[in-house]
């Protein structure tokens, strides 16, 4: 029992000693996440812009419009919001 308690004490002391580094690690992780989001947005911006142009051409006389939600482009039609123009629900094909 004393050996297990001694081993636990060693681990607890190591964890306590690592606490200051934890804040630094969390700060670095948050920075990497923000940078990743920024790079992802920059990489997909041309695609989102081109999709918006195509969508405007297709829907010139429609009440459907694109709205930007954070880094996502969504379609808003009335109260329904779809993830993207190419994800809009379609009617099943009818057999002729």
SS3 76: strand
First to last CA, the chain: 79
Q: Which helix (H) or strand (E) covers residue 79, if one does?
A: none
- State what percent of residues in the chain have pLDDT above 70: 64
d(CA 20, CA 29): 15
pLDDT digits (tens, 9 = 90+) for 6-36: 889 899 998 888 888 888 999 999 999 999 9
| Domain boundaries defined on the chain | 2-87
- Residue 84 gets which letter from DSSP? -
Q: Is the dihedral of CA 71, 35, 39, 89 positive or negative?
A: negative
């Amino acid at each position: 029992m004393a050996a297990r308690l001694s081993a636990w004490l060693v681990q607890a002391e190591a964890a306590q000693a690592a606490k200051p580094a934890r804040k630094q690690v969390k700060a670095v992780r948050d920075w990497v996440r923000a940078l990743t989001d920024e790079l992802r947005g920059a990489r997909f911006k041309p695609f989102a812009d081109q999709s918006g142009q195509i969508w405007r051409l297709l829907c010139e006389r429609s009440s459907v419009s694109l709205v930007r939600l954070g880094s996502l482009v969504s379609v808003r039609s009335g109260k329904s919001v779809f993830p993207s123009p190419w994800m809009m629900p379609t009617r099943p094909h009818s057999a002729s």
